[in-house]
Amino acid sequence: MKIPPNLQPLIDDGVIDSVLGQLKSGKEASVFLVACGTQVRCAKVYKDAQQRGFHRLAEYQEGRKARGSRELRAMGKRSRYGRNEQESAWKNAEVEALYRLAGAGVRVPQPQGVYDGVLIMELVADAEGYPAPRLNDVTPTPEQAREWHAVLINQVQRMLCLGLIHGDLSEYNVLLGARGPVIIDLPQAVDAAGNNNAFRMLERDVNNLRTYCGAAAPELLTTEYAHEMWKWYQSGELRPDTPLTGRFVHDATPADLGEVLYEVDQARKEAEARERGRLAAAAEN
């Protein structure tokens, strides 16, 4: 096959030996099978922002730290330099998340390195050694659905213990490897502590898994793992082995409107104070 321009430098430098074929092309990146010595691995080539179909970039990047005040100002102004910095941050987020998650025992493809913006990682294979299918290509039995759901909920739990939320998790970005489900596609990984949309994204991730697995095991459709998990996380008591039941009792107490408005006003003042401090620090630099 014709070698993609992004992969030619890796061949020239001996990082990969050859390109065996394209595995998939998605809204964010194209993934190729590559030979590295005796190993077959994946090379993920990210698409430029103009080509990507992911339109809610700012929503996901909220809470991420820029490298310095110059980069932060540039990203805010949307200059050419700022757009390049934002692109770099988008790509680096997946690399950093993969290394952190793999180190913590979360089932993700093992990263092998990043070269010229191309991520080299483990090929997730099925029991026969072929590239693993995505969950949406498989119809589970009730027993399989329960097993996969339990595994994936624990992976989401482990991610949250590290302060990360996938943010776009569904049956379309989970591979069914030889040893069970493997979570993929993490450039939009969300900072659980710094993003105001964190719980909403966690709930959506968990509910997507619930809907898929619940089609085969309907009893899963009544579970409330997102709320239960988030309660433990907010209290600082969530651990990878914290036992979850999937049951959660919602507080039916009517909200105190005056107290709510007070808290909102306090949060606004604190945010304004932080912004003034950030601008003052940026001006000094």
Q: Which residues are catalytic?
A: 168, 185
DSSP category for residue 129: S
Residue 180: enclosing H or E segment and its boundaries? strand 180-183
Distance between CA 19 and CA 11 in Å, rounded? 9
> Could you tell me which residues come within 8 angstroms of residue 217 by beta carbon, excluding any fewer than 6 positions away?
142, 145, 146, 149
Residue 276: Cβ-neighbour burial (10 angstroms; 0-12, 13-18, 19+)? exposed
The CA-based dihedral angle spanning residues 278, 280, 281, 282, taken in that order and rounded to the nearest 10 degrees: 80
Distance of CA 179 to the CA centre of its chain: 21
- The Cβ of residue 77 has, within 10 Å, a number of other Cβ atoms equal to 10
